[in-house]
Structure 1
């Protein structure tokens, strides 16, 4: 098999990149060991986070650090065995999360976030997936006035600096919006710009069908077999149907990117934050009308097509270690006290791994030491949000077009000596 370009990884980033290349007349093969959107892109809160200008940083206040050190929270958990290997990454992550550095990163990150809705809308319309989308934002709710007021202050700053919109909600307004919530709340904050996705996997499948309508192909294969062919087409990868050859290749493998990049001599500081979800039914008469974050407890409830999806925070562990859904175990009883959840609808908790860089920004652009090698990974918590804008910008860069956003801040060589 031959193609102009092979895209390794059929998550939202790889799929979006493949679409934009196919739109530009390139013959594109999308290669994955599974189907489209069946790894990290499968399980998330289902948000296109237009408000997420500040990527998730490492806390700097002593109280939060002490709380996480106890290793008994819902929003964070770590494996002791993984810590020694994670220390260099965490140290750099902590440094970049300082106020000055984090503010600078937000300014560099903002152009990606600012284009997230428009680029998803383009693909949603093209793929006929509008029924999967809600356009009414999401809510944080607060149990204490202190947390509420701090969130209001932060939201006002973001609105001034980055033009994101929000609505402050009183306790009585929350009661009207979410009458089934059982606890007394001090108020809430609705981010009004984001869109939400009723089933992220179905959205990925709709994007795949659109890619195939453009002449693109999805094939099964092991990206780790990629090899650089000095005399020939450029790149070759093994598939069950035989070798696949192409002039150019895009590595969009998320947390598995290092299975390819390390073999080629690139050592990016890529770590993972693992996360879990479970779907639930609701007790008779109960309804969850909005995507809701219980901000002071650290879990998220989302009304998906399959049921109410409960998602947890970050687990720091080896990428391929067995599941340890302790955060879900901690979150479920708290969530049941908060909202009348009923039966579990999944046989076991889902687990995924978010690919993270220490400066919290993705790696997007041309690999510096190989012709025809392009990289797109490291989107951390915002892979679903940033997939389409990343795909468009990278396709434009590959074809020498003016890019929708400046890719210099995300260039791969920022991490290479």
Structure 2
């Protein structure tokens, strides 16, 4: 059986689902194709932050002292597999070059218009999907053990405010304890970003957006994106689906299709990460996500418990798990907040799709007509899912785009 639609969206993470929603809302008949259920992969495992403050994407460290610290491969926030580090060395060199302060500032000016709309676009989709209860409008905290780190982070927050109007609140130890009384009394203070939203279950939010897509008449099909053929067609369990246009929103798997099968040479890499849920100790409560800046892990109150997320692991995407970071930060997390038993038998692992210039790839494929790209969001996939979905739908339907799309085109490489 052959099915015909206007557009195929490949990938049912938050970016792909959001693109499918916005295309369907604009009157196109859309098929959303993935091998798993919506929100079951990368969009499931993150800190649940919609980062309105995230105007500066995460840069590669350039200070020699920081790099030497990471070289020992024992830092809690960054780990690596030696073989993967050697294989991705050209990518990392480009990443390091783009992280030069003046270049990073220029990138932030291109990136900030996307970030500016992230909260509003999520709230709009969540309300339409009947999922507003999954989003909390209370912000999140960075927390500090020492004055030097606090002062440096406060200067950075002031810079973001001066350049982009990103609000922040500096908190001393007493104010932090008032907001989160069960955190360790050894903390000296924090920074709160009040305009950011947080999510109690990112996977459930993505699934809710997918149900909204279906309520609009969209179809969710199970299939292998790597069967995509120019034309465009893809094989699914429900039969072959054909369409005038296709959108690649496969996150860390985008390179399998775009580079390996379609012949592009886009510079894509992954940063792996881990999380695990813990029950809070009896009587303990955490209201806001809190980032331990010194040690690079996040505690986030989720529907399943307290989610402990790690920093970055440079490794092959499909290499076996090496959850050393979770093992390293769990004792620190327990000192920070009274955690009970782990809920899962083992940590979850996922991969963040990254580009060396820290900007996502959003727009038309350079060499294939009616093929569109929407991937490479690194640490901000959840944050920018609905923004990207709206932008790609506007581009595909010839509408005026609500932000300038030029910085994110694939032909910049």
Q: How does 1:9-88 map to 2 (within 5 A)?
A: 9-88=11-90
Q: For 2:248 and 2:205, how far apart are their aligned partners in 1? A: 21
Q: How does 1:9-408 map to 2 (within 5 A)?
A: 9-228=11-230, 234-262=231-259, 263-408=261-406
Q: For 2:148 and 2:196, how far apart are their aligned partners in 1? A: 25
Q: Are the equivalent residues in 1 in contact too, given 2:361–2:376 (CA < 8 A)? A: yes
Question: How far does the alpha carbon of each residue in 1:105-134 deviate from its partner, in whole angstroms, 9 at most, with x for none?
Answer: 000000000011111111011011111111
Q: Are the equivalent residues in 2 in contact too, given 1:275–1:311 (CA < 8 A)? A: yes
The TM-score normalised by the length of structure 1 is: 0.97
Q: For 1:213 and 1:287, how far apart are their aligned partners in 2? A: 36
Q: Are the equivalent residues in 1 in contact too, given 2:177–2:185 (CA < 8 A)? A: no
Partner in structure 2 of residue 231 of structure 1: none
SS of the residue corresponding to residue 165 of structure 1 reads coil
Q: Are the equivalent residues in 2 in contact too, given 1:363–1:412 (CA < 8 A)? A: yes
Extract structure 1 runs of 4+ deviating beyond 3 A. Answer: none
CA-CA distance at 1:182 after TM superposition: 2.4
Q: For 1:389 and 1:133, how far apart are their aligned partners in 2? A: 16
Q: Are the equivalent residues in 2 in contact too, given 1:183–1:337 (CA < 8 A)? A: no
Q: For 1:127 and 1:315, how far apart are their aligned partners in 2? A: 34
Q: Which runs of 5+ in 1 are unaligned?
A: 229-233
SS of the residue corresponding to residue 238 of structure 2 reads coil
Q: Are the equivalent residues in 1 in contact too, given 2:364–2:371 (CA < 8 A)? A: yes
Aligned residues: 410
Q: Are the equivalent residues in 1 in contact too, given 2:10–2:247 (CA < 8 A)? A: yes
The TM-score normalised by the length of structure 2 is: 0.98
Question: How far does the alpha carbon of each residue in 1:310-348 deviate from its partner, in whole angstroms, 9 at most, with x for none?
Answer: 000011000110111110000001111111100000121
Q: Are the equivalent residues in 2 in contact too, given 1:182–1:338 (CA < 8 A)? A: yes
Q: Are the equivalent residues in 2 in contact too, given 1:275–1:315 (CA < 8 A)? A: yes
CA-CA distance at 1:241 after TM superposition: 2.3
CA-CA distance at 1:183 after TM superposition: 4.2
